[in-house]
Amino acid sequence: MDIEQLKEQIKVVAKVRQTAQETALIVRTLMAEWTENHVAELNSAKIWKEQAETEEAKLREMTLQVYAETGNKQPAQGVGIREIEKLIYDPALALGYAKEHGVALKLDTAGFEKMAKISELRPGFVTVEKVITATIATVLEVK
């Protein structure tokens, strides 16, 4: 490798960088123009997204309320209740446990939680908490 080859490669990189910057500027300009020409549509999409999130949160809360009152996990078509077991533990104690049992030098959270979900293998410092969440079907009927 000689200095002339190195200098030539420097020129190639400089040219490629310049072209990349120029094309990035063109793309940013086009995107800014498009955004400026579609402000109403973008605002409308944002408003509808926020409205959907608000209404979905209300539907989830209502579903949880009906579940609390009835115990029914499928209170209506399109909504349901899912129970997920969430392990509660001190990560430092879990790491100590893992080291003591030769499982890891660093806590493998996924592996530890998989093992701890089996009640016979669950260390005493781990508790299980049921997390209740409401689900909404992707497609809902509008009548």
- Phi, psi (degrees; rounded to nearest 5) at 78: 100, -15
What pTM was computed for the model?
0.56
Q: Per-residue pLDDT for 20 more than 80? A: yes
Are 60 and 136 within 8 A, CB to CB?
yes
Interval 54-91: pLDDT, tens: 999 999 999 999 999 999 999 999 999 999 889 999 98
Q: How far apart are CA 64 and CA 86, in angstroms?
A: 18
Interval 25-59: pLDDT, tens: 999 999 999 999 999 999 999 999 999 999 999 99
